[in-house]
Amino acid sequence: MNAVFVGFGFGPIQAGLFVYEAYRTGRFKRLVVADVVPELVESVRKNAGYYHVNIAHPEGVESAEVGPVEIYDPSVEADRDALKQAVAEAQEISTAVPSVSFYTSEQPGSIHRVLADGFLLKRSQNGPPAIVYAAENHNQAADILEEQTSSTLQGQASLVLQNRVRFLNTVIGKMSGVITDPAEMAGLAPVTPNAGRAFLVEEFNRILISDVNPDGPFTFKRSITAFEEKRDLLPFEEAKLYGHNATHALGAYLGMLGGIRRIAELRDHPDVLGLMRSAFIEESGGALISKYRGTDPLFTPKGYERYADDLLKRMTNPHLRDTAERVGRDPRRKLEWDDRLIGTMRLALGQGIRPWRYAVGAAAALACLFPDLRSNPGADIAPLLEDWWKKAPAGERSQIVREVVQGWRSVGQFMKG
């Protein structure tokens, strides 16, 4: 029990995956987390460093107590100094913040600055080698974080990071959420007695990470052994974004148009659930199998069908309490050229597969983004889409616009009433 763990961001993935798994190993003498919400930091401190996470199983919800953890607010100078020293002593570090854009800021407590200063201390104090898990939903998150940390170290970067720090990308298919509505929190353990929120995560725990020691003799050692290393994460990252995320969004937007509140209610709508399954297997699966056939058993017809059916069952687990609004939040971003819906359509078209079901999902997202369009099913949406994606190649853009316009004609049948 000699290792030190440090986590940046204290939401459900940090609390219910990284810290939880580190705690369960029994190998860490210190569990350290950072968060910028003063009320959350104070509530954990007042609870002697202990917190609860709720784990959704198919048959019910289990509550687990974790701790003690040390929690610090990097915007506070004394806390920031404590975090830097913890980084210097850490063997495993994770970032679990809303996006890669949260890695940097102008504030002295910016993640990349705290890491850089901590790594300088690690070198001067001859601290242990450290693994950094970048848990943000981006297939280059680790590379971005390493580059931004290195830029702060400037000329010392290679001396500080070489053989001391290894940044790892992750593929995290674990669904989770923060519950703050008092009515929704019924039956759940709050993070702390006075926190006013609960962390809810699913039991699924097959987390994929980059190969820890890909290019030579053993250097880095993991105490958290639950994660599975892959030499090449890209195929699995695309399966998550263009399979899991795309289909989740498809169901959420059709559900929102149909007046569905919780994703679990889709089990009562076989038309929507059937469309989701066909999209998942025939469009996403067909394209990814064509692209990555032979790399892993996942990318076979049977392997991908098992993957899709397992995820659809997990997505609609009523104990996860997931809402269509949460899954479908920020439809403008999810309609970006490289994001889950349009990205999946482009992937499929590139493999000779017509993605008409994801086009329906994209059109549904548009209707959720612009409620006024729902009363005008004959609206010409092509100019809007052409303008959104004006920087994309003209030929490919026109093809995608045609598909979404066609999908728009089918959206009406899913609208409530």
Q: Please report, for the chain, the start and end positions of each structural domain, with discontinuous segments joined by +.
A: 3-231, 235-414
- Indicate the class that CATH gives domain 235-414: mainly alpha
> CA 178 to CA 199: how far, in whole Å?
5
pTM score above 0.75 = yes
Cα separation values, 293 from 81, 102, 307, 349, Å: 49, 35, 15, 17
Q: Closest by alpha carbon to 414, among 248, 183, 250, 197?
A: 250
The tens-digit pLDDT sequence of the chain (417 residues) is 789 999 999 999 999 999 999 999 999 999 999 999 999 999 999 999 999 999 999 999 999 999 999 999 999 999 999 999 999 999 999 999 999 999 999 999 999 999 999 999 999 999 999 999 999 988 899 999 999 999 999 888 877 888 889 999 999 999 999 999 999 899 999 999 989 999 999 999 999 999 998 776 568 889 999 999 999 999 999 999 999 999 999 999 999 999 999 999 999 999 999 999 999 999 999 999 999 999 999 999 999 999 999 999 999 999 999 999 999 999 999 999 999 999 999 999 999 999 999 999 999 999 999 988 888 878 899 999 999 999 999 999 999 999 999 999 888 777 764
Crossing angle of helices 246-257 and 270-278, in 10° steps, is 150
* CATH number belonging to domain 3-231: 3.40.50.720
